[in-house]
Amino acid sequence: MPSIDCSKMPIEKAIRIFRRKCDNAGIKEECRARQHYSKPSAIKYEHNKSTTRKRARDLQKETELLQSRKKFRVLPKKKNTRRPSR
């Protein structure tokens, strides 16, 4: 639990510092997570669902990047493969 010594500072500043320390320690998120019990299978399901969404998003970004590169790609000049006429 974060603590501060507020004997030589205004209470508003002490509260601000305490709130920042609590946010950095992750106390608020942990309290919200422990508010309701969630089964391990539900946690695993949510994790898999979020990773699937992330993979789909990353794949979409990658395909968009490749499509944009194809638009601006400069094709190499063709070599003259014809034989000179005699």
Kindly write down the DSSP assignment for every residue of 29-60, as one continuous string. HHHHHHHS---HHHHHHHHHHHHHHHHHHHHH
Report the chain's mean pLDDT, rounded to a whole number: 87
Query: Is it the case that residue 79 has pLDDT exceeding 90?
Result: no
Confidence of residue 12 (pLDDT cuts 50, 70, 90): very high
Percent of the chain with pLDDT over 90: 57
pTM of full prediction above 0.75: no
Query: Is it the case that residue 46 has pLDDT exceeding 90?
Result: yes
Query: Is it the case that residue 73 has pLDDT exceeding 70?
Result: no
